[in-house]
Structure 1
Amino acid sequence: MNKPTTLYIIRHGKTMFNTIGRTQGWSDTPLTKEGEKIIHYLGLGLRDTDFKEAYSSDSGRAMQTARIILQEHQHGSTIPYSTDSRIREWCFGSLDGGYDGELWGVVPRILAFKDYEDMMTNRISYKDLADAIIAADTANWAEPYEKIKERVWSGFEDIAQHREKNGGGNVMVVSHGLTISFLLSLIDHSLPMQIGLENGSVTKLVYENGTFTIDSVNDTDYIAKGRALSLSN
């Protein structure tokens, strides 16, 4: 009998761009020393979790995060690991790599809001956000909403379906803040945008018979557990 299929979806560790407040979609920077330390703690906190497989997006920060976690895992060297470009962060086009204030300054104006606070109070949709990014993108690189939806959903669902067909169990998946938040909204339409997922947080989804169920969101207890283990050694 198959075990339940559970995705442990992890937001990558804190990067250089995260630290200085730059928009990081398809652009990429490595984890900071502090970011690496937190992910080492996370790896220790997850070291006894029975992962059947591990995945990350193909962005460097996600791959670096996955490698650190697997390095700390007691069976990390034998857990099959691969990358999937579909679970990347959103692409912000010409706004990618700029300061966050540029993105969140122009998007509300395009959507006819006074500022970021006004926009978030009115709870815009992810489609509104995607359309506004396309309107602001002078390079024509940003993805249309339907393309983002198709790639993100198919990426995570294919990972879950593959594990379900192979006996179920736990899967480690390293992805990105907006992508994870967007995925959650596709499962539960009542969830607000930008849940504010912490770097290194774990969001658990259970997949059964073609349906995702949200088990937990933005869990940092594994980091705390790993930090305690590190201090006790």
Structure 2
Amino acid sequence: MKKTLYLMRHGETEFNKKKRIQGWTDSPLTQNGIDQAKKAKEWFEKNKIQFTHAYCSTSERASDTLELITTLSYKRLKGLKEMNFGKFDGESESLNPPLDQYDTFFSVYGNGETRAQVQQRMNETITNIMRHSDHESVLIVSHGGAIANFYRKWENESPIKKNEPFYNCCILKYIYEDGKFILENVVNENKPAR
């Protein structure tokens, strides 16, 4: 049976605005982040999308975003949290390593997670959610890095490829069938003006 997953990044936070590394440390939504979530809600309504179930990470920025999208009751799960950046959490984004060192940098130098660890827990958590027989149309609000690692897991299965960052309140529409996630659409309604 085909099911639909809407995997969404939370709205802009104070740490996003201040260019701080934000993993397990939380930061409140900015007014812009609230407006982004409301714009995403409008997109769901315009496309007549109704959810049977909703989930988010245990971070308040995710639950606050979800609550602006739907009044449906929801569950918060640790497996949907952002990558743990260890001692780099809350520090300036200027401390981020080059992309070719990103896979293990935070576990080696910061006592955080590897990309592989994030990918595994995101995939296990989301797969367990989608296996429920009554979960036909699911909204999950998570985080940019966590979503990117989930995307990488299923990238080769999907005809649609990411061609820009997953901006705040970006929505990835996946079809889940036969244990596989196929990316059908990426909605970046809140892409910043350049």
TM-score class, shorter-chain normalisation, is 0.7 to 0.9
In the alignment, what sits opposite 1:210? 179
Paired residue type of 1:36: I
Aligned to 1:94: 87
Q: Secondary structure at the match of 1:50?
A: coil
CA-CA distance at 1:49 after TM superposition: 1.2
Q: How far off its partner does 1:146 sit?
A: 4.5
Is 2:26 aligned against 1:28? yes
Q: Given the two structures, how large is their TM-score scaled by the length of structure 1?
A: 0.73
Q: Cα distance 1:194–1:56, how it changes in 2: closer, same or farther (>3 A)?
A: farther
Residue of structure 2 equivalent to 1:188 = 155
What is the SS of the residue equivalent to 2:32?
helix
The 1:193–1:144 alpha-carbon spacing in structure 2 relative to 1, beyond 3 Å, is farther
* Contact 2:54–2:74 under 8 Å retained in 1: yes
Query: Which stretches in structure 1 are left out of the alignment for 5+ residues?
Result: 71-75, 109-118, 225-233
| Structure 2 residue 104 is matched with structure 1 residue 131 | yes
Structure 2 counterpart of 1:94, one-letter code: K
Aligned to 1:18, the other structure's residue is in SS state: helix
Q: Which amino acid aligns with 2:176?
A: Y
C-alpha deviation, 1:170, in angstroms? 1.2
Q: What do residues 153-195 of structure 1 show as CA deviations (whole Å, max 9, x unaligned)?
A: 1111111112xx22x5211110111111111110125999995
Amino acid at match of 2:170: S
Native 8 Å contact 1:182 1:193 kept in 2:
no
Q: Whose helix proportion is higher, 1 or 2? A: 1
Deviation, structure 1 residue 6? 0.7
Residue 5 (structure 1) aligns with: 3
Q: Is the 8 A contact 1:16 1:29 kept in 2?
A: yes
Contact 1:160-1:207 at 8 Å conserved across structures: yes
Deviation per residue, 1:69-114 (Å, 9 max, x gap): 11xxxxx3xx3311111011100000000010012xxx23xxxxxx
Q: Which amino acid aligns with 2:142?
A: S
Contact 2:115/2:149 (<8 A) preserved: no
CA distance in 2, matches of 1:34, 1:51: 25
Distance 1:27 1:66, change over 3 A: same
Q: 1:157 aligns with which of 114, 127, 131?
A: 127
Inter-CA distance 135–193: structure 2 relative to 1 (3 Å threshold): farther
Q: Distance in 1 between matches of 2:50 and 2:161?
A: 31
| Letter of the 1:60 counterpart | E
Q: Using structure 2 for the length normalisation, give the TM-score.
A: 0.87
Supply the RMSD in Å over aligned alpha carbons.
Answer: 2.3
Q: Does structure 2 retain, via aligned residues, the 8 Å contact 1:178–1:194?
A: no
Q: Which moved more, 1:59-68 or 1:41-50?
A: 41-50
Question: What is the CA distance between 1:130 and its match in structure 2?
Answer: 3.3
Aligned counterparts, 1:1-233, within 5 A: 2=1, 4-47=2-45, 48-70=48-70, 76=71, 79-103=72-96, 107-108=97-98, 119=99, 124=100, 128-137=101-110, 140=111, 142-162=112-132, 165-166=133-134, 168-189=135-156, 195-217=164-186, 219-221=187-189
Give secondary structure in 1 for the equivalent of 2:131: helix
Q: Partner amino acid for 1:171?
A: V
Structure number with bigger Rg: 1
Residues matched between the structures, number? 187
Q: Which stretches in structure 2 are left out of the alignment for 5+ residues?
A: none
Q: Distance in 1 between matches of 2:22 and 2:163?
A: 15
